[in-house]
A and B are shown apart, each in its own frame.
Chain A
Amino acid sequence: MSSNKVVLEVEDLGINFGGLRAVDNLNMTIHENELYGLIGPNGAGKTTVFNILTGVYPPTDGTIKLEGQVINGKTPHEIAQLGIARTFQNIRLFKDMTVKENVLVSLGVHADYDVVTGMFKLPKFHAQEVAMEDEAMRLLDVFELRDDCDKLARNLPYGEQRELEIVRALGARPKLLLLDEPAAGMNPQETENLMRTIDVVRKQFGISILLIEHDMKLVMGICEKITVLNYGAMLACGTPEEIQNNPQVISAYLGE
């Protein structure tokens, strides 16, 4: 399914927080349209990896390349504009904005009318706003959120808030989408629906997805490739079958 074009290349990535080596010597290659899983026990450094990839923490060593371009040391918004969008483990929506406005924030980054055009409502403003609104609605359709578009984000049920966060990330038109435990707090049925939608999103938008997830079964079901982290170090990397049968992974998860 995946082509051979590399979207993200992580080489020997490491980060120190004082004396603590939170991530050590991580290597990862994500191809175009690939669904990639990042798993590991609590405190293994998964979210730290996300924070490094999105520029929140600058890595201590190693390089990150997005489509061949080194993105180390760039600020989070620059990285987002280059094509890495993310969701958060603890939902971070713009709660007092409407559902539609949440998506328009990230879509607006790609519009190019300037402040004066917006303030005086010049024709270019109209054209781009209408186009943005259409696109926002199309994106909301993916998660069947269209009918809620004028609700405040804080009034959505928990599961839909998680979905809206994904829609907002899609609005940034990413090449690579990072999902941090998108199914946290969902029941098995909701989780399964979400995973199916994530797969649809990947195919429909032709993007790569890097997924952090706790639920082993789930990751095994949909991911094409998986990296397992433990104490910040890469424990194993391979297809779901390889991971399932790896004795080190089993001992990390279940204890010896």
Chain B
Amino acid sequence: MKKVSFKQQLLIELGITLGLFLLLQVLMNLGVITTYWKGIFITICINVILTVSLNITSGFLGELALGHAGFMAAGAYIAAVFSKSIALIPSVEFPLALLIGGLFAMLLGYLVSIPTLRLRGDYLAIITLAFGEIVRNVLLNIKFTGGAGGYSSIPKYTTFPWTFFLAAACVLLSRSLINSRQGRAIISIREDEIAAESSGIDTNKYKKLAFVYSAFFAGIAGALYAHYMGFLQPAYFNLDKSIEILVMCVLGGMGNITGSIISASILTILPEALRQIADYRMLVYSVVLIVMMLVKYAPQFQGLLAKFKHQKEEEA
């Protein structure tokens, strides 16, 4: 049996996280990773947080949520307003801003979860879509944060270590959540809600938990984004943004956290890597998406892949 104790597992996880961080940090200090790529890494980390957190509701709870950009926007704006209006030392102000962004999104997540408890599938997707649009439209009409023109000169506190460790925290915490009794309760609702209820699972409670959890991290991702760009515009948080996160989530595999990390990384790098062929960029992006989906899920490709593996094994 490959039984690893809880403590060993925790040490391994922390070791990998720290190792990866040191590697990237050293490469950045040596100049191997340019400032341009450093920016991409920060975006990757933000997208990892968004994708993994969406995976909790969409992948593990099994509810198609189309309003993730709404939570992100809420977190971003609240955090930005906070750090612009309060003058503390940055090392205190930034964590506070992040926390406030997360908590505010969490509150919204709770409010959204209440009407959604009775809905499933398509209906829930529509409600969350509407929520995302409401947030965007409210932001468009608030004069205080610049409305459609955008909210500018937000202090740029977001650094690579901050984003990296928050993304790592999001991944590790989500993984332990999924492997806890609460996580199993969430998955059991996706599998069979009636059976979950009759096994003693308070399904409403765990649906709320999943929504609130994923909103919290979306809010944090928004706050990181705000302090990275230094400028916010409601138009950025439109339905396309929600769909983009959902695509990352679906491509990585619903209910697969490792997959989420990989697909968030690939889909962030891809448009950047295609910049040379600027005119056909989005076209190639879509084609690559379709091909990746096919390779990953189409039974024909699965069969081919299995055959290929088999041949290799025979040769060896």
Contacts and interface: CB of A to CB of B under 8 A. Distances in A.
Interface string B175-213: 011001111110110011011111111110000010000
A101 interface: yes
Interface in A60-100: 75-77, 80-81, 85-86, 88, 92-97
Interface residues of A, number: 38
The 10 closest A-B pairs by CB, nearest first: A118-B180, A108-B181, A94-B191, A80-B200, A109-B200, A92-B195, A106-B199, A76-B197, A105-B188, A81-B200
22 contacts: A76-B198, A77-B197, A77-B201, A77-B202, A80-B198, A85-B200, A88-B195, A94-B188, A95-B192, A97-B191, A101-B184, A105-B188, A105-B201, A108-B185, A111-B181, A118-B177, A118-B181, A118-B182, A118-B183, A121-B176, A125-B6, A171-B199
B188 to A, nearest CB: 5
Contact of A85 (B176, B192, B199, B202): B199
B295 interface: no
Interface of B: 6, 10, 173, 176-177, 180-185, 187-188, 191-192, 194-203, 209
Contacts of B6: 121, 125-126, 129
B194 A119 contact: no
A160 to B, nearest CB: 17
Interface of A: 54, 56, 75-77, 80-81, 85-86, 88, 92-97, 101, 104-106, 108-109, 111, 113, 115, 118-121, 125-126, 128-129, 132, 168-169, 171-172
A109 B201 contact: yes
Given A111-B181, A115-B177, A118-B180, A97 B199 contact: no
Contacts of A106: 199-200
Contact of A92 (B177, B181, B185, B192): B192
B216 to A, nearest CB: 11
Contacts of B198: 54, 56, 76-77, 80, 85-86
Nearest to B187: A97
A232 B37 CA distance: 71
Contacts of A129: 6, 180-181
Contact of B184 (A80, A93, A105): A105
A95 B180 contact: no
Highest count of chain A CB atoms <10 Å: which of B177, B180, B197: B180
